[in-house]
Amino acid sequence: MNQDLSILHLVLNASVVVQLVMLLLVLISVSSWAAIFRKLFSLKRVKSLNDGFEREFWSGIRLNDLFATATQNTRDAGPMARIFASGMREYQKLREKRITDSATLMDGARRAMRASFQREMDVVETHLSFLASVGSVSPYVGLFGTVWGIMHAFTGLASLQQVTLATVAPGIAEALVATAIGLFAAIPAVVAYNRFARDIDRVAIRLETFIEEFSNILQRNVGAQSASGL
């Protein structure tokens, strides 16, 4: 009854298959935490860049000046700035072709901004599917390790004439560690996925609102004779 049932001892004395399952789950957990921190910093940066651009956009600056600034710093610009630049670029190209039809101008600008919006959302949603997979699959991987460990434990007990709790407990405990590690990997991934999904929805709504607001501004200026009149 004085057997060592510490976690480390149980892991080191588990069967090879269970140890491989545990190692896989630990690697998944480490990758999951790395993805969580990357996504956390990424979303904070996106929010900061969007806030800065939106303040500048509504500060009264001329659209041509804002467009020049956005195109010069595309690498450090946020999603909102790149969407704005896409819409302005398409709008100006159509004006250079002497297209004056308002429907054509607005349709071209909106399509350009929508395409840019989809690209930006693809980038923002990076690693989100990985967290979802970790949250849904890890418990089952841990359960597989547990089932295998219990099977291995009972197979070893088959040769014993007298089985007591002291002989059964270590094998079952070793197997249950795999389930515990699986839950340890899954729970943070599920919590982070739900949090990031909500934050990304807010980013998407904000960008779509900006597209509509900028479209309204272009609509009001669509009768101008040249882009310099903006």
Give pLDDT, residue 227.
Answer: 42
Cα 79 to Cα 124: distance, rounded to the nearest angstrom: 9
pTM, whole model, 2 decimals? 0.80
Quickly list H helices, 97-127: 102-124
Is pLDDT above 80 for 173? no
Ordered by start, the domain boundaries in the chain are 17-134+184-223
For the beta carbon of residue 33, count every other beta carbon within 10 angstroms: 15
- 226: tokens are 């040249």
pLDDT digits (tens, 9 = 90+) for 103-151: 888 899 999 999 999 999 999 998 899 999 999 999 999 888 888 888 7
pLDDT at 38: 94
How does DSSP classify residue 44? Answer: H
Residue 2 has pLDDT above 70, yes or no: no
**184-215 pLDDT per residue, tens:** 999 999 999 999 999 999 999 999 999 999 99
pLDDT over threshold 80, residue 7: no
Residue 199, classified by CB atoms within 10 Å of its CB into exposed (0-12), middle (13-18) or buried (19+), is middle
pLDDT at 170: 64
Q: What is the pLDDT of residue 1?
A: 46
What DSSP letter does each residue of 29-68 carry, written as one string? HHHHHHHHHHHHHHHHHHHHHHHHHHHHHTTT--HHHHHH
**Rounded average pLDDT over 61-83:** 86
Query: Mean pLDDT across the chain, nearest whole number?
Result: 84
Sign of CA dihedral 149, 150, 155, 157: positive
pLDDT in tens, 11-36: 666 678 888 888 999 999 999 999 99
